[in-house]
Structure 1
Amino acid sequence: MVIHSVSSLKDDPTLTTRDAARLLGISVSTAQKWIESGALESWKTPGGHRRMRQSAVIALLEERTAMSADALQSMPQELRAERAPPYPVPHDEGARLRMVGRTGLLDTTADPAFDRITWLAGLITGTPISVISLLTAKRVWFKSALGTDLTETPREQAFCNHVILGEDMMMVEDARADTRFSANPLVTGSPHIRFYAGCPLRGPDGHALGSLCVIDRTPRRLDAAQKEGLRALADIAEDEIRLYMAEHGRR
């Protein structure tokens, strides 16, 4: 057990989970996952709230950002965050892109495990198109796609740019009536997206990698059971990503 002097404690303030998330440049939910996994040392107050020392947060920040210049130089351009991208990005976009690269999934061949998920997503929701996607800085690549011949789209056209900003499903009942998407080439032209629902897919460290989404060419909505089914399939897709990483020695 480490005994801190009164003066050292004053110099090392106690932080809340939200404070730690802000300092680390991650979402509160990601900070909570790091705390639960033991990556960030913390303790519980009598009221059940998590607290941690600023020094522990700074140490973790230094560890997470200790990537050598050589490693950064060798990273593919599409896995480097752009300075002024023409699309919305999470505040942790750089770390998110590195996690996408670490999965080892980009440009891999078709996998029945992921194809079963998109098939079930279409079956549960009754939509003609379903996709599991990963977002790089340049494109949205489809690990699995049902009902479309597309294998990727430009990042700036991606509906899932907005999905990865949130914690839960995003649903667009009619893209023509949504100012975020009404002028999107995927709406005004093929495949003529009208309805879209997508759940974020997160990697082992909590960063959003892409989405599981379903698409229709006519306006509609999902009922409660369909929403829960899509969320459950997104959880399964995340499990498959972790399994793939473990089987291929990715960390």
Structure 2
Amino acid sequence: MSTITPSPADEHDPALTTREAAALLGISVSTAQKWIEGGAVESWKTPGGHRRMRRKAVLRLLEERTAMASAAPDTATHELRPLSSPTYAVAPSEAARLRAVGRTGLLDTDAEPTFDRITRLAAIMAGTPFSAISLLTATRQWFKSRQGIEACETSRDVAFCNQVVVTEQLVVVEDARDDPRFRDNPAVTGEPYVRFYAGCPLHAPDGLVVGTLCVFDRTPRRLDSTQLECLRALAEIAEDEIRLYMVERGRR
């Protein structure tokens, strides 16, 4: 592990605790601990055994993590720009949000066990046959991980998850046939005949919503407060994994 010795010259670069560094990076304390112990940030131990790191070192890692706008194919560039006349609702931050999707570097990458574990746990927790981690571009909803779903993507204009992206809140639909937002959706009137849906927003390091963790079913249902809290917790884990992916990709 990299270590540094604090000096008087660092008086304008305050030392941070692990919790403060985690807050600055937008990750959980446990994830910050793993990064620090892995040498992602230079640090040292106080006489009391507590680890400290300089704020500038943490900011350098943050900049490295978010500087992911590498060259992309023209097709990808097009779908990461807002449509002039979208057929679906968009938030005022849509342009910035699409750039954030691109910066994750996740679009069209292979399935990974870390994300698949999250969707598997989400489906078990909710008791649903379907779950997914999705990213929404201007034209499509693409699944980084999916359980019970054959297609790897759908068009954005039929995506339930778009409501999560626009509202930036947890969205729960107990029976889509009774919800005016979704009752005419092709996924409700036809295969897979979605009735129940619950989706949590997934945020990029800059706070913009890039996608969702969602569960859904062919039969109406209701999640209790514990299940909803579990879904939120799994979404937070997914956000940590997205940030970790960005850090590792930025260090290559």
Aligned to 2:51: none
- Relative to structure 1, the CA distance from residue 233 to residue 187 in structure 2 (aligned partners, 3 Å threshold; closer, same or farther) is same
Aligned to 2:132: 131
TM-score, structure 2 normalization: 0.70
Q: Return the alpha-carbon distance in structure 1 between the equivalents of residues 186 and 73 of structure 2.
A: 34
Aligned to 1:244: 245
Counterparts of 1:168-183 in structure 2, within 5 Å, are: 168-183=169-184
Aligned to 1:159: 160
Q: How many residues align?
A: 183
TM-score, structure 1 normalization: 0.70
2:163 equivalent to 1:144:
no
- Relative to structure 1, the CA distance from residue 128 to residue 88 in structure 2 (aligned partners, 3 Å threshold; closer, same or farther) is same
Deviations 1:48-101 (A, max 9, x none): xxxxxxxxxxxxxxxxxxxxxxx8996611100112200011110001001101
CA RMSD of aligned residues (A): 1.9
SS at match of 1:242: helix
Aligned to 1:122: 123
Structure 1, unaligned runs of 5 or more: 1-35, 39-70
Q: Return the alpha-carbon distance in structure 2 between the equivalents of residues 157 and 72 of structure 1.
A: 26
Q: Could you tell me whether the CA contact under 8 Å between 2:80 and 2:102 is conserved in 1?
A: yes
Structure 2, unaligned runs of 5 or more: 1-22, 26-70
Residue 158 (structure 1) shift:
0.6
Residue 164 (structure 1) shift:
1.2
2:71 equivalent to 1:80:
no
Q: Could you tell me whether the CA contact under 8 Å between 2:140 and 2:153 is conserved in 1?
A: yes
Aligned to 1:62: none
Q: Could you tell me whether the CA contact under 8 Å between 2:168 and 2:209 is conserved in 1?
A: no
Residue 37 (structure 1) shift:
4.6
Residue 150 (structure 1) shift:
1.4
Q: Return the alpha-carbon distance in structure 1 between the equivalents of residues 72 and 241 of structure 2.
A: 27
Aligned to 1:21: none
Q: Return the alpha-carbon distance in structure 2 between the equivalents of residues 173 and 161 of structure 1.
A: 17
2:219 equivalent to 1:218:
yes
Counterparts of 1:197-236 in structure 2, within 5 Å, are: 197-236=198-237
The residue identity in structure 2 corresponding to 1:190 is E
SS at match of 2:119: helix
SS at match of 2:169: coil
Q: Could you tell me whether the CA contact under 8 Å between 1:166 and 1:200 is conserved in 2?
A: no
- Relative to structure 1, the CA distance from residue 190 to residue 105 in structure 2 (aligned partners, 3 Å threshold; closer, same or farther) is same
Q: Could you tell me whether the CA contact under 8 Å between 1:174 and 1:194 is conserved in 2?
A: yes
Residue 216 (structure 1) shift:
0.7
Counterparts of 1:42-53 in structure 2, within 5 Å, are: none
Aligned to 1:102: 103
Q: Return the alpha-carbon distance in structure 1 between the equivalents of residues 84 and 72 of structure 2.
A: 15
Q: Return the alpha-carbon distance in structure 1 between the equivalents of residues 169 and 127 of structure 2.
A: 20
The residue identity in structure 2 corresponding to 1:174 is D
Aligned to 1:112: 113
Aligned sequence identity (%): 61
Residue 168 (structure 1) shift:
2.8
Q: Return the alpha-carbon distance in structure 2 between the equivalents of residues 72 and 221 of structure 1.
A: 41
The residue identity in structure 2 corresponding to 1:110 is A
The residue identity in structure 2 corresponding to 1:111 is E
Q: Could you tell me whether the CA contact under 8 Å between 2:201 and 2:213 is conserved in 1?
A: yes
